[in-house]
Amino acid sequence: MGFPLKFKIGLYAAIISGLALALTPSIIQPFIYHRQVQELDTEMRRDADEIFEVLSARIERGVDPRKPLTRESIPQSLRARFIRVANADGSELYRSGNWKDFEPRTLQQGGATIRISDRNSRIVTVQNGTHVVNMGTRLGTIEGMQQDLRFAFAVALPAVFLLTLAGALWVARRALRPVAEMTAAAERINVKRPDERLPVPDSGDEIERLSHVLNASFDRLEKAYAAAERFSSAASHQFKTPLTILRAGLGELRSCDYLKPSEREMVESLLQQTRRLTTLCDDLLLLAQADAGRLDIAAEPVDVVPLLSGAIDDAEVLGMERRIVIEQSLPGELLVLADSRRLAVILQNICENAVKYNRPDGFIKIFASSAGGKAVISITNSGQCVPPADAERIFERFNRGLAEENHKGHGLGLSIARELARAHSGDLRLKRSDAEGTEFELVLPLAPVTA
C-alpha cells in the first residue's frame, strides 16, 4: 500500500527545503569568510600605515634609515601582530618575536593566508617607497565563526526539515480536502445510486474544473447505463412471449401423427433450440436485474446440503457418459442465509461447469464446511489448468474458456453464479488451478443461530 498523497507532498517539500538548507552553508560560509578576510586585510593595511608613519618620523629626526627598529618604537596596539619591516633592498629592520617558522621574503604584495606555528594566519604585505611592511594576525576568530556557522546549520537542518514537513502536511491536507471529499462521493456512486455526483468546490482552480468534467462524465455514463439496462430488460421480456408461443406450437406440432420421422426430428431440433433461447433470455434478464441492483433475493435460513446433493445427482448424470467420478464430503446440515431458488441456480451452474470443463475418466471433489461465520463449498475438477491471466476472465459473460463447440451453454454460468453469490453477501472465486485440479470456492453467510 502506497503513502497518502498529502504525506508525499509534505515529504517532498521537506526534502527540498533540507537540500536547500544543506547547500546554504556552501554559499554563505565562503561569502562571510571572504568578507571578513577583506575587512581584516583593510584593518592591517591601516596598521601598516602606522608603521610607515613611525619610519617617516625617524627619517625626519635624522636617524639612519638602515638602523633597526626597536620593539618600543612599535605602537603598543600593534605589538600582538606579526610584524616585519624591511628596506626595499631586503635588509630587515624589525621582526616581531612571535614570527617563526616562515620566511616573509617570499610574500608578494597584497594579502596571503599562511601557516605560522601550525596555525592559519593572514599576512598583508605593503610597500611604501623604500620600505616594505609585512603585517599579520591569526585567523582564529574568523575560523571560530566559521565553525559556529557549521554547527548552527547542522542543528537547524533537522529542525527545519521537521518543521517544513509538518507545515507541508498541514497545507497539503487543506489543499487536498476537496479531493478527499470527491473520493468519498465517487465511492458512493454505484448501480443503486447512479445519480450521485461529486461536490464542486467554489475555488476557481483545477479541482473545480476536474469536478465539473467528472460529473459530466458520470451524467453520460448514467444515461448509457440506463439505456443499456432498459434494452437488456425489455429485450429479454419481449423475447419471452414469442418464444413461449413458439415452444408451445412446436410441442403441438411434434405430437402430430402425420409427421415423417425426418420432419419429427427437425421439429425436435427446433424445439431444443427454442429451449436454449428461452434459457438465454432468462439468464440475460437475471443479469440485467443484477446490473440494475434490483435482483430479488428473499434470504432466509436454508439448508444447503439437500440443494447441493441435488446438484451433485444431476452432475453424475451429466458426467456418466465420460465416466467422471464424483467424491463428496458434506455435513449433515449446513444452514445458510439465502434465497433457496437462487442458491439452487448457483450450485447447479457450478456443478455443471465442473462436468463441462472436465476430461474423460476425470474426477470432481465437492466439500462443504463452515469457518469464520461463513459456509465454504469447495468444488474441484480434473479439467485443464486455467492460466493465472484468465483467473478473472473466466467469470466474464459469454466467455466459454476451453469448452468445445459441442458443449452446451452460452458462457454465462459462472458469471450468473458469481452475481448471485455476491447478491447474497458471499462470493465465488477460482481458488487454484494446477496439475492437481481446478478448485472453485463458494462462500455464503451462515444463518444466525436462534436460541
Q: What percent of the chain is predicted at pLDDT more than 70?
A: 84
Q: Which CATH superfamily is domain 300-445 in?
A: Histidine kinase-like ATPase, C-terminal domain (3.30.565.10)
| Buried/exposed code over 353-386 (b: 16+ C-beta within 10 A; e: otherwise) | bbbbbbeeebbbbbbbeeeeebbbbebbbbbeeb
Q: Is the pLDDT of residue 406 over 50?
A: no
Q: Is the pLDDT of residue 441 over 70?
A: yes
67 secondary structure, DSSP code: S
Q: Is the pLDDT of residue 451 over 70?
A: no
pLDDT, average across residues 346-372:
88
Q: Which CATH superfamily is domain 5-149 in?
A: PAS domain (3.30.450.20)
Q: Greater confidence, 87 or 297? A: 87
Look up the pTM and report it: 0.48
The grid cell for 303 is 439448508
Summarize pLDDT for 324-341 with one digit per residue, the tens. 988 888 888 888 888 888
Answer whether 440's CB lies under 8 Å from 428's CB. yes
Q: CA–CA separation, 213 vs 229, rounded Å?
A: 24
Q: ∠ CA(193), CA(194), CA(200), 5° rounding?
A: 100
Predicted confidence at residue 268, as pLDDT, reads: 76
Please tell me whether residue 189 adopts helix, strand or coil conformation.
coil
Q: Which residues on neighbouring strands pair with residue 116, listed in sequence order? A: 119
Q: Is the pLDDT of residue 360 over 70?
A: yes
Domain boundaries, the chain: 5-149, 206-291, 300-445
Q: ∠ CA(191), CA(304), CA(437), 5° rounding?
A: 85
Q: What is the mean pLDDT of the chain?
A: 80
pLDDT tier at 39, thresholds 50, 70, 90: very high
Closest to 290 in 3D by CA, of 410, 397, 402: 397
Q: Is the pLDDT of residue 6 over 80?
A: no
Least reliable range by pLDDT among 56-65, 266-275, 309-318: 266-275
Summarize pLDDT for 302-330 with one digit per residue, the tens. 898 998 898 888 888 888 888 898 888 88
CATH classification code of 206-291: 1.10.287.130
Q: CA–CA separation, 131 vs 52, rounded Å?
A: 8
105 secondary structure, DSSP code: G
Q: CA–CA separation, 394 vs 391, rounded Å?
A: 6
pLDDT, average across residues 41-68:
86
Predicted confidence at residue 2, as pLDDT, reads: 60
Q: Is the pLDDT of residue 97 over 50?
A: yes
Q: Is the pLDDT of residue 375 over 50?
A: yes
Predicted confidence at residue 191, as pLDDT, reads: 62
Least reliable range by pLDDT among 132-141, 285-294, 372-381: 285-294
Summarize pLDDT for 162-214 with one digit per residue, the tens. 887 788 778 777 777 777 777 777 777 766 677 778 788 777 777 778 888 88
Predicted confidence at residue 388, as pLDDT, reads: 78
Q: CA–CA separation, 255 vs 260, rounded Å?
A: 11
Strands (E), 288-435: 300-303, 325-329, 335-338, 363-371, 374-381, 427-434
pLDDT, average across residues 17-40:
84
pLDDT tier at 405, thresholds 50, 70, 90: very low
Q: CA–CA separation, 443 vs 374, rounded Å?
A: 6
Summarize pLDDT for 290-302 with one digit per residue, the tens. 666 666 677 788 8
The residues, any chain, with a CB within 8 Å of residue 352's CB and separated by 6 or more, are 314, 315, 318, 409, 413
pLDDT tier at 229, thresholds 50, 70, 90: low
Predicted confidence at residue 404, as pLDDT, reads: 46
Q: Greater confidence, 215 or 277? A: 215
- In order of 272, 273, 289, 312, 326, the CA distances from 283 in angstroms are 17, 15, 10, 21, 27
Q: Is the pLDDT of residue 153 over 70?
A: yes
